[in-house]
């Protein structure tokens, strides 16, 4: 899905393990103009916190998506992984 003139980003998103939180993140990501290139998600069953790694690309600044995902109710944190290639 990678288009050459788009910028690639990796987001690390920590969420409460609530129903449809993953769907919400995917919906916002698509609606705000970001292509999803890959995703990994794991739940820590001890504290019910899930860690989602989201690989996206877009011609829009990543801060737009970070701010929108941060607004979702069950989100604990969102950060851009600057070490990812």
Nearer to another protein by C-beta: 8 or 68? 68
Q: Give contact residues for another protein (rule: CB under 8 A).
A: 19-20, 23-24, 27, 31, 63-64, 67-68, 70-73
CA distance 25 to 30: 9
Give min distance, CB of 10 to another protein, in A.
20
Nearer to another protein by C-beta: 28 or 41? 28
Is 68 exposed, middle or buried (CB count within 10 Å of its CB: 0-12, 13-18, 19+)? middle
């Amino acid at each position: 899905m990678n288009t050459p003139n788009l910028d690639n980003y990796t987001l690390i998103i920590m969420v409460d393990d609530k129903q449809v939180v993953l769907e919400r993140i995917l919906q916002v990501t698509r609606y705000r103009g970001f292509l999803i290139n890959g995703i990994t998600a794991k739940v820590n069953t001890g504290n019910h916190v899930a860690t989602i790694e989201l690989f996206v690309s877009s011609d829009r600044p990543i801060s737009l998506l970070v701010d929108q995902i941060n607004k979702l109710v069950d989100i604990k944190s969102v950060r851009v992984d600057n070490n990812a290639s």
